[in-house]
Every structure is written in structure tokens, then in C-alpha cells.
A and B are shown apart, each in its own frame.
Chain A
Amino acid sequence: MDSAQRGRGPFVWRFLLWHRLAHGLAILTFYTLVLTGLPLRYACAPFSAELIALFGGVPRAGLIHRIAGGVMVAYTLVYVGWLMGRIVRDRVNWKRWLWGPDSLVPHPKDAVDFARMWRYFVGRGKKPRFGRYSYLEKLDFFGEVWGFVIIGGSGVLLWFPELFGQYLPGWWFNVATVLHGYEALLATCFIFIVHFFNVHVRPDKWPLDAVMFHGRGTVDYLEEEHPDMMHHVEENLDEPVARSPRVDHPAPAPTRIATVLSAVLGFVALAVGFVIIGMILWAVTFC
């Protein structure tokens, strides 16, 4: 059921607690924002009045939306602060951090991989060998960065119209409304269609990849998804399972509770996501 637990072990840590917490918070805030924002964007849709009533009416849904947005801004700022701290205080090798093979930053290889994927799709080449982060994961990450800037910026503008209206002409709010709504729609469709397919329901992985929930995957799984990082893993495979989790180091198999919780969280999130895509299609047809 969980493709991260398929094949042969041993288990290896891929994501640490803070990765998983950040992703969990992202799920929580993103879903809240979508569910409270969607009925406003498609106010004309048949489900919108019911959905907004579920949140206790427009003013209450608006408050929940702003709280979720605030939490998203908060954890993003914490992340950026942590990043700055790493660069400035810990003096990480930022050249390697930017250009190393384990980087999350887009590289020329990603463009090559992207091109090779299309050749692979049409049967004219092998699937490219992805490193720690494939272009799909980088796209997920930087898509969120881009979305955060556009949606967050316009959202703050629309949150305090009277404050910003002291200096900015009012039509900025017209522009902000368009940016906010369309970028949110793009983010929703991208996550619930492209991300969900790439990560979870791809026929060779489906129905779920819970590596981001319990943090570890089998060697077979990592080899399949990220063959170009396996040398990091090979080096540590003979070490005993460490007490504190370290990336690329052997991990204990997820406990039954962790497996079940991951599956429940994953399937609920998947189901809600697909329902939301259905609602968008319904709204687009209806409005």
C-alpha cells in the first residue's frame, strides 16, 4: 500500500522530523486555505453556500482563511530564517549547497532530465536517473515559493485594504484579486493533479507514497526513485541503526502505528484533494 515500504530493505532515512512537520503544516494550511477560499472564488457554484456555511459564514471563513495564511507565512519565515542562519552563521559551503548534486536548486541537469522524460514517454529513451531531488520535486518546492510570493503578497494587500489604500491606488486591489485567485487555482490544480499523480497514484507507485509522513523508504524504493543519490546511502548501509535519525542512514522499519497513521493521513488528504478537483470542475461547468 505504501510504495516507500516496497521491495527489499533495509530502511533508510529520507526526511527528518522537521521536514515532515513542515510538510504536515503545509498540508493543514493549504487545505484550509483551499476549502475556505474556493467557495468565494466560485461563489456562483451550487456547493459554495453550503461549504461556506460549514465554516460558519463568510466572515468566519474569512477569519479561518487569514489564520491559515498567517500560519503559512509564519512557518515560511521560520524556514527562511533557518536558511539564512545556515548560510551566515554556520557558513555552509553555499557553492556546494547551490550547485552540488544534492541541491534543491534547479540545475541544467533538470532541463536535460525534463527533455529526456518526454523521450522516455514516447519510448525513445530510458527514464533519466534522478538525484536526491528530481525536477518534479524542485518544481513542487519552487512552485510553492512562487505561489507564496504571489498569493501571500496579494493576500496581505487584500487583508489590509485600508492600510495599503493610503498609498496605493485602489485598482491594485483589482489586480491583487486576479493574482490571488488565479495563482491559488493554479496551485490547487498543480498539487491535486500533478503532485498527486507524480508522487502517489502513478500506476507503478499507487496508491500512496508515505515517505514524507514516516520519513523513511526501503533501499529498493530509493533506488527506483532517486538512483543518482544511492552512493550516499551505500556508504552508510553497514552502520547500525542510529538512535537519532540521520538522512541517508539506516532507519528502523516504521512501526505499525506510524504506518497506519501515515496511510490514514495520506488517503484522507488524497481523497479530499480529488473531491476538490471535482468541485472545481463542477464550478467551472456551472458558473
Chain B
Amino acid sequence: MTLRVAFLAMVVAALSSAELPGQTSGVALADDDACLACHGEPELLRARVAGAEEAARLHVRAAPLRGSTHGEMRCVECHDDYQGFPHPDAAEPMGCGTSTCHDADPHPEWSESVHALVQDSTGLAAATCTDCHGLHDVESVEALRLEASAAMVELNGRCASCHSEQDHPDDPHAGTTLCSGCHAPHTMEVPGSPESAVAPVRQLETCGACHEEVADSVRHDVHRRALVDAPRERLLAWPAPATDSLAPTCSDCHGAPPMAGPNVALSGEALSGGPRPGLARDEGIDPGAAFRMFMVERCATCHVDDADTYYGTYHGKATRLASGVSASCSDCHSAHAVLPADSARSTLHADNLVGTCGACHEAARPAFVRYDSHPDPMDPERNAALYWSFIFMNTILAGTLLVFGLHTALWWIRIWLDGRSPGPPAERGAPSSGRPDPASPSDSGGAGG
């Protein structure tokens, strides 16, 4: 090996010092072996260029290249500015799309993508062909599309090298779904663009491709209907309107990656944007319960009053304290088929209510389900008995505390005033004992003189 390196070094030295008339571009390199004579030898590169990093960058492994879908191609077919030696100082970076090969293929789509937009507008390095497809170990399209393959994990890892926050081992899609399965490859629209595969209007289609049952039940959901019925100009508005002005879709509840669901323990933090005080100890609670618990906060972003009245009930209070068993929004309203109570399909319809409550309260009967899950004790129209109980209890609470608060305060002041007044302690007017008053601290409570 050492001998071979020494030999090659001599060859390179000879080549670079050669001054052949009429050949300004140096020696022509015809085949890959000539390229690999240098670029295939890390030790040689280290000896020739400054810095180990630069040497590593210039190093090319022959085996992955030969095994890639470009295995039959010659180096100079891509590196067309490097046909001679010595190489030019500053060559144009080669482009896959501008070359003759992928001319009409994905390039026009990529140039409209968010990656191209970021690169053009900020000059920051965003993902180009090689960042996803690999530099020399370019995968075939067929290999990339194999689900749960090593290639898929590798490919997702390439997205995650920039989008590291989205790469979470607990995400239910981790290891099973390609990033590009939801975020259409190449087109990859700007987030919020209505043309994006994950735009609110298109999520049912994109997520529903795998989650067929959910997609099926959600078709009747009021949220879905509201989204479909929303004026088109609002859906296509750019920049995208704030989420609270539109009905929620998949990602509004399940989040963007890392995504949360009833089986995902990370839901709490992912949905609330951080751990909540006091809940750190509740790691033991069932992930489904955690998900539903934080879901109340999500629903509450729009349904403010309903969340308020819910939090006034045992269900709401226990859920707030991570009960894990107490009903939250989706337990009664369902998760994906939310419908008004007058709809026959609704979980809240009079005919279905016993079954809905009965999911937890097994012995629920028609009388039982007249419980008000969103009570408003201030509203006599809604329930007069509740209203008057509320008024009565507040009256005796306020009345008792007022009278006896005053009683306490005045007594305090009286004792204090008596303690300050000069002269002997007040006579008790109690002839029963006939004892002289002993001078003791307990005397100061006597009547003032």
C-alpha cells in the first residue's frame, strides 16, 4: 500500500509539473480510473490538500458509486468541468437538471419548491438533488419507494439532517413512512400554501391515503364540512390565514411531526408547546389520556365558552389534573365524527346519548344522561334549580363570611383597644366565683372599662 501511494504520488507530481505545449487544460482524463487514482485514495488526498475535512470531501468511494443507479456513468459525465488536469480553480457546480439526463424530469417542480425558494431568496443552503438522492450513492426511485426499508430510513435521515426537530423516535410515523409520503417530493410547497400536500384542504387526501377509516368517518364531521364549505378565496389566501379562522384538520389536533395521537406519549409536550407545571410527575398516565387531556386545550382555542363550562364540571377539573379516566371533549363528541346533537349520526343525539355516556358509566339510563356536561349556573333559563342553588350557596357563603369576618375583626380591635386602655381590668359582673381576679394574661379579654 505504502509503495503504491509513493508510486502514485510520483505520477501526480509528474503530471502536474508537465508543461505540454498547446494543452492549457492539462492532461485529458478519459476514464474513471484516472479520477479514482487520486480521489479514491484518502491518504494521498490528505498529503496533497490542506485539511482533513477537505480531503474527506474530495474522497470518493468506488464501491457505492458502482452499486448506485449511476453505476454505469463516468465521473466526467457529471463533473464536466473537470475533464482535464490540473482542475480549474473555480468550476461551476454541476446540476442534475441542467445536464442532459434529468432535463425535463423533476427539476421544474423542484425549482418551485420551498427548498428552491429559500435558496434563491436567502442564499442559505437548502436541499438540492444530491442532499436527498445522495452524491455518489444515488438510489434508484424503486429503492426509495420501498416502505420500511433501510433506504427509507436513510432517506428520512437526510431530511432530518436539516429538519432535526421533526425527527423524533416516538413519532408514530418514524421508521414506517417516508417524509416524502406526505410532503410531495420535489414540489414540496411552502408551508400553508393551498397547493401543498399537507395544506388544510388537502390533508384528508394525504393522511387519508393510509388512515382510511379515519378519513371515512371524518367526511361528515362538522369541522370537515366547515372546511369544505369555506370560501375558496379564504382557503387559497396567501399567506395562509391563522388556523383559528379555519376549521381544524388533521394537523390541528395531531400536530406536525413529531405527531401525537392516542398511542403517543409525547403528545403532552408536543401539543402544549412544553411541559406544564406539575404534570412532570404524571408520566405514568396513559398516553391516550395525556393526548385527550391536551386536546381540550386545542379545542378550547376556538370553543372558549364550552371549555369554560366543561372546566367547571368534575370531568373538566379531573382532566385538568391528569386524571386519565375522566371524559374529555372527544369522549362525548367523538374524535372524527363531531356532529350537532340534532343529527341522527351524532354521539350527542338523544337516541345515542345513553350509549355515549354508557361508554364510561355502564349503568347509564335516560334519566342519568340529563346531566349537563356544560352547565352554566348563571343562566336560569338553562336550569333553574342549578341557578337558584348557585345563588343560594353564594349568598350563605358571602353572608356568613361577611358577618363573621366582621365579628372577628371587631372583636380583635376591641381586645386590642381594651389592652391599651389604662386602669384595672374591667369587672366581670360575675358574682358566682367571688375570687379576686388574678393577674394573668387571660384577663386582657375582659370587658373594656
Contact = CB atoms under 8 A, between A and B. Distances in A.
Contacts of A18: none
A33 B415 CA distance: 34
A6 B426 CA distance: 18
A174 B367 contact: no
Contacts of B325: 58-59
Contacts of B278: 46-50, 53
Contacts of B414: 120-121, 123
Interface in A140-170: 158, 161-163, 165-170
Contacts of A186: 393, 396-397, 400-401
B7 interface: no
A122 B410 contact: yes
Given A170-B370, A179-B389, A202-B445, A227 B432 contact: yes
A193 B414 CA distance: 18
B415 A202 contact: yes
A174 B375 contact: yes
Contacts of A177: 313-314
Interface string A249-287: 000000000000000000000000000000000000000
B430 A129 contact: yes
Given A121-B413, A123-B414, A202-B411, A162 B383 contact: no
B281 A203 contact: no
A69 interface: no
B174 to A, nearest CB: 30
Contacts of B383: 171, 174
Interface stretch (B10-18, B144-152, B433-441): B433-441
Contacts of A223: 428, 430, 433, 435
A31 interface: no
A15 interface: no
B361 A162 contact: yes
Contacts of B320: 43-44, 48-49
A198 B415 contact: no
A64 interface: no
A252 B383 CA distance: 60
Interface in A113-132: 117-118, 120-123, 125-127, 129
A126 B447 CA distance: 5
Nearest to A4: B442
A123 B417 CA distance: 9
B363 A58 contact: no
B326 interface: yes
Interface in B371-421: 371-372, 375, 377, 383, 385-386, 389-390, 393-394, 396-397, 400-401, 404-405, 407-408, 410-417, 419
B390 A6 contact: no
Contact of A174 (B363, B371, B415, B429): B371
Which of B285, B430, B433, B447: most chain A Cβ within 10 A? Answer: B433
Nearest to A223: B433
Contacts of A48: 278, 320-321
A121 B433 contact: no
A25 interface: no
B157 interface: no
A178 interface: yes
A198 B408 contact: yes
Given A178-B390, A186-B400, A227-B430, A171 B365 contact: no
A41 to B, nearest CB: 7
B403 to A, nearest CB: 10
Contact of B389 (A52, A178, A221): A178
B445 A52 contact: no
Which of A53, A121, A173: most chain B Cβ within 10 A? Answer: A121
B369 interface: yes
A207 to B, nearest CB: 11
A50 B318 CA distance: 13
B448 interface: yes
Nearest to A42: B317
Contacts, number: 221
B364 interface: yes
Nearest to A166: B365
Given A44-B311, A178-B386, A202 B370 contact: no
Interface string B235-266: 00000000000000000000000000000000
B386 A175 contact: yes
Interface in B16-33: none
B415 A162 contact: no
Given A59-B325, A224-B445, A7 B429 contact: no
B285 to A, nearest CB: 8
B362 interface: yes
A40 interface: yes
Contact of B441 (A165, A198, A204, A230): A204
A175 B282 contact: no
A204 B442 contact: yes
Contact of B311 (A43, A168, A220, A228): A43
Contact of A41 (B317, B412, B413): B317
A43 B316 contact: yes
Nearest to B448: A123
A32 to B, nearest CB: 17
Contacts of A166: 363, 365, 367-368
A185 interface: yes
A187 to B, nearest CB: 10
Contact of A230 (B316, B385, B433): B433
Given A7-B442, A190-B404, A202 B412 contact: yes
Contacts of B405: 193-194
Contacts of A215: none
A18 B396 CA distance: 32
A126 B401 CA distance: 25
B201 interface: no
23 contacts: A6-B441, A40-B317, A40-B321, A44-B311, A50-B277, A57-B324, A59-B323, A117-B407, A121-B413, A126-B429, A129-B429, A165-B371, A166-B365, A174-B383, A178-B390, A179-B389, A182-B393, A197-B408, A198-B411, A219-B433, A223-B430, A227-B432, A234-B432
Given A174-B372, A224-B445, 4 more contacts: A40-B314, A122-B410, A161-B361, A223-B435
Interface of A: 3, 6-8, 39-41, 43-44, 46-50, 52-53, 57-59, 117-118, 120-123, 125-127, 129, 158, 161-163, 165-171, 173-175, 177-179, 182-183, 185-186, 189-190, 193-194, 197-198, 202-205, 219-221, 223-224, 227-228, 230-231, 234
